[in-house]
Amino acid sequence: MVHVKVCGVRTAEDARACVELGASSIGINFVPASPRCVDLDTARGIARAAHEANAKVVVVGVVADIDVDAMRALVHDAGLDCLQLHGNEPATTLAALLPHAYKAVRIASAADVERARAYPGDHLLVDAKVEGLLGGSGTTFDWALVKDLARERRLTLAGGLVPENVERAVRELRPYCVDVASGVEGDPKGAPGVKDLAKVRAFIEAARRA
């Protein structure tokens, strides 16, 4: 059964509801440039609510280009289970945090796939490469590029997934996990991070049908 990560959660209430609907993982954004970024106190409340809803849920902190000591402190202080490195971190930085971290790699070509392969660890996240953005673009990419990678690693597929296309994505790639943020928001331009729970339910049901 494919895992589902709901990312960019900004409230404890949304975290609890998403877990109760069946999300395997909750993503909390700590990247200052992101409209879904939250402060430490808010993150701590989100993590607590998610774990109270299901002790097995994985709470992931999304970070970009901060040092290893700061990342370790964030895991402790926010009550996270692992980190998603979404910047330009080298393989050595990720290696220092394993097994409680994985790299997000933006994909637009076969060369990007080879770059993803060079990172250590069992887990990888692949997202669309959009100029000027680290992620959260709501844009898909050519899934065929990562078909082999999905067989080699525990792959999380992100980028432009919505309730209407996630079943096809899971059937085509059989990824370990699918990741959604803007695809389950009612009006991402008006209130980024506020989840539409009907869309969350539809997304999870579609992913698990595949």
Task: Give the active site residues.
Answer: 7, 127
Residue 170's φ and ψ, nearest 5 degrees, are -65, -40
DSSP three-state, residue 177: strand
Query: Read out DSSP for 92-140?
Result: HHHHHHTTSEEEEEEESSHHHHHHHHTS-SSEEEEEE--TT-SS-----
Whether the link from the prior residue into 99 is cis, omega within 30° of 0, is yes
Query: Read out DSSP for 142-162?
Result: -GGGGHHHHHHSEEEE-SS--
Spatial separation of the C-alpha atoms in residues 126 and 110, rounded to whole Å? 12
Tell me the Ramachandran region of residue 83: left when phi exceeds 0, alpha when psi lies from -120 to 50, beta otherwise.
Answer: beta
